[in-house]
Amino acid sequence: MKNITVIGVGKLGLCFALTLEKQGYNVMGVDVIEEYIKKINNKTLSSPEPQVQKHLINSKNFVATTEIETGLEHSDILFLFVATPSLDNGRYDHSQIDKVVNQLTNYNSNKKEKHLIIGCTTMPGYCEGIQNILQPYRFSVSYNPEFIAQGSIMSDLESPDILLIGEGSVSAGDAIVEVYSSIIENKPTIHRMSTKEAEITKIALNCFLTTKIAYANMVGDIAKSAGCNPEIILNAVGSDSRVGNKNLKYGYGFGGPCFPRDNRAFDLFSNDVGIDAVISKASDNANKLHLDFQVNELKKKYKKTEQIVFSDVAYKLGTNIIEESQKLALAVELAELGYQIVIKDTEEIISQIEDLYGNKFNYQKKYLDDKTVRRRH
Ligand SMILES: NC(=O)c1ccc[n+]([C@@H]2O[C@H](COP(=O)([O-])OP(=O)(O)OC[C@H]3O[C@@H](n4cnc5c(N)ncnc54)[C@H](O)[C@@H]3O)[C@@H](O)[C@H]2O)c1
């Protein structure tokens, strides 16, 4: 049985660790939150992510620790999934990775080369810098982002469309391919390249998807304004194989913890190399214009004295994440215009919204088996 260490077992890292364990690896998770580690080790951790609880309870070869040295002793292959939140300027904050890297430089290994594989979202060029820092300590540094969606992380990990590998060395690239060959159930195309090329690919791909979603909503707004059905038009456009129907639906703008920030980071990186990423800016702008369009549609439909119920306001159904939820943004805009907005959602989501917006809304708790209110806007 092969050993693997996963540093940072949060939303993504935990799913990755459990996927590896499920496929026969002996996995050591490393994290900094003691209480959280305890819950992993006594298998009481609950997660909104499908399959996590079940696989955690069934796991036999997954333990977690707060000691990074223990993780380093455990394996020569280290996957890293600490958080890289966006700074106010739109760039990624790499400080959690820097901290781990600093710890790795204290670990004086004269043994075999170790492979550090960064799965966090990073600004292009960042991993090259880390490779320079860690080379004297016999670490190769690779970049291997995941294209997964919240709410289906474990199944997405097992059937990715592409495998993107920014390899720090050929042996690191080979090691990554070997790991995935035992966890994936489909046959994705494999793309091996430099770390910087992979970092650009990750955010360029998400920039394309934001553009596609923004385009679909723009066409939909035009269709509606002309008295036509957006779906009929988009379905026909997407049926051309050069376009494709995925992400070409009329609905809310793009949101969540990945698309908007990756699109902005792509724009910022392009400035660094002297290019104006006008398409990134246009998608961001189109997303805002679409929100304005939706606000106007509801203003025409409702009087200020009427209640408007917004049900399920997470950025994606089945998750507890409200970050950049465009449905919630719509509710906020209308509340600020004086409309009576009721947010109907789970306790977990309501508590997040109450923290941010207080009594801007009325709230109604929704229970998991409650199928009564599904008035979607
Ligand atoms: N969650 C996703 O769907 C998703 C999708 C694509 C990319 N990503 C990227 O993956 C990375 C991780 O995202 P996430 O959503 O899992 O974040 P998260 O905040 O849920 O998890 C990060 C974990 O790292 C731990 N951590 C922080 N400092 C540490 C340290 N020094 N040593 C060990 N552990 C440490 C935290 O305690 C936390 O449990 C980010 O860069 C994110 O952009 C996430």
Strand-by-strand arrangement of the 307-311 sheet: 307-311, 340-345, 362-365
What's the pLDDT band for 48 if we cut at 50, 70, 90? confident
User: Does residue 318 or residue 36 have the better pLDDT?
Assistant: 36
Tell me what pLDDT residue 1 has.
Answer: 81
Spacing, Cα 86 to ligand 1 middle (Å): 13
Are residues 68 and 106 in contact, defined by beta-carbon separation less than 8 angstroms? no
Domain boundary, last residue among 193, 218, 251:
193
> Is residue 247 domain-shared with residue 283, that is, in the same domain?
yes
Indicate the top mutation candidate among 6, 52, 79, 82 to test ligand 1's pocket, ranked by most ligand atoms within 8 A of CB.
82
> Is residue 117 domain-shared with residue 22, that is, in the same domain?
yes
- 143 - beta bridge partners? 118, 166
> Is residue 208 domain-shared with residue 330, that is, in the same domain?
no
Tell me what pLDDT residue 366 has.
Answer: 85
CA distance 90 to 69: 33
Q: Is 342 helix (H, G, I), strand (E, B) or coil?
A: strand
pLDDT higher than threshold 50 for residue 376? no
Structural Rg of the chain based on CA atoms? 22
Number of folded domains that form the chain: 3
Are residues 192 and 172 in contact, defined by beta-carbon separation less than 8 angstroms? no
pLDDT higher than threshold 80 for residue 58? yes
Q: Looking at ligand 1, which atom is closest to the CA of residue 147?
A: 6
Q: Which residues contact 78 (CB under 8 A, 6 or more apart)?
A: 4, 5, 6, 7, 71, 72, 114, 115, 116, 117
Are residues 266 and 194 in contact, defined by beta-carbon separation less than 8 angstroms? no
Least Cα distance to 28 among 59, 10, 47, 3 occurs for 3
Are residues 331 and 313 in contact, defined by beta-carbon separation less than 8 angstroms? yes
Tokens for 298, please give them: 């509801």
Spacing, Cα 165 to ligand 1 middle (Å): 19
> Is residue 109 domain-shared with residue 208, that is, in the same domain?
no
> Is residue 254 domain-shared with residue 154, that is, in the same domain?
no
Q: What percent of the chain has pLDDT over 70?
A: 96
> Is residue 120 domain-shared with residue 18, that is, in the same domain?
yes
Tell me what pLDDT residue 106 has.
Answer: 87
Domain boundary, last residue among 176, 193, 210:
193
Q: How many CB atoms lie within 10 A of CB 59?
A: 16
Domain boundary, last residue among 138, 165, 193:
193
pLDDT higher than threshold 90 for residue 214? yes
CA distance 320 to 341: 20
Domain extent for 31: 3-193
> Is residue 132 domain-shared with residue 63, that is, in the same domain?
yes
- Alpha-carbon dihedral sign for residues 360, 366, 372, 377: positive
Least Cα distance to 8 among 30, 37, 39 occurs for 30
- Ligand 1 within 6 A of 205 CB? no
Per DSSP bridges, beta strands 139-143 and 362-365 are unpaired
What's the pLDDT band for 154 if we cut at 50, 70, 90? very high
> Is residue 106 domain-shared with residue 210, that is, in the same domain?
no
Q: What percent of the chain has pLDDT over 90?
A: 93
Token match 């959690």: residue? 96
> Is residue 214 domain-shared with residue 111, that is, in the same domain?
no
- Ligand 1 within 6 A of 150 CB? yes
CA distance 232 to 248: 12
> Is residue 132 domain-shared with residue 202, that is, in the same domain?
no
In order of 110, 213, 288, 356, the CA distances from 224 in angstroms are 66, 16, 17, 33
Q: What is the pLDDT of residues 70-116, one digit of tens each?
A: 999 999 999 999 999 999 999 999 999 999 999 999 886 666 789 99
DSSP 101-150: HHHHHHS---SS-EEEEE-S---TTHHHHHHHHHGGGTEEEEE------T
DSSP 193-231: E-HHHHHHHHHHHHHHHHHHHHHHHHHHHHHHHTT--HH
Tell me what pLDDT residue 323 has.
Answer: 96
pLDDT higher than threshold 80 for residue 375? no
> Is residue 180 domain-shared with residue 77, that is, in the same domain?
yes
> Is residue 25 domain-shared with residue 99, that is, in the same domain?
yes
Tell me what pLDDT residue 100 has.
Answer: 98
Are residues 144 and 154 in contact, defined by beta-carbon separation less than 8 angstroms? no
- 142 - beta bridge partners? 117
Task: Specify the residue with its C-alpha closest to ligand 1, atom 4.
Answer: 12
Tell me what pLDDT residue 174 has.
Answer: 97
pLDDT higher than threshold 50 for residue 373? no
pLDDT, the chain, mean: 95
Spacing, Cα 361 to ligand 1 middle (Å): 31
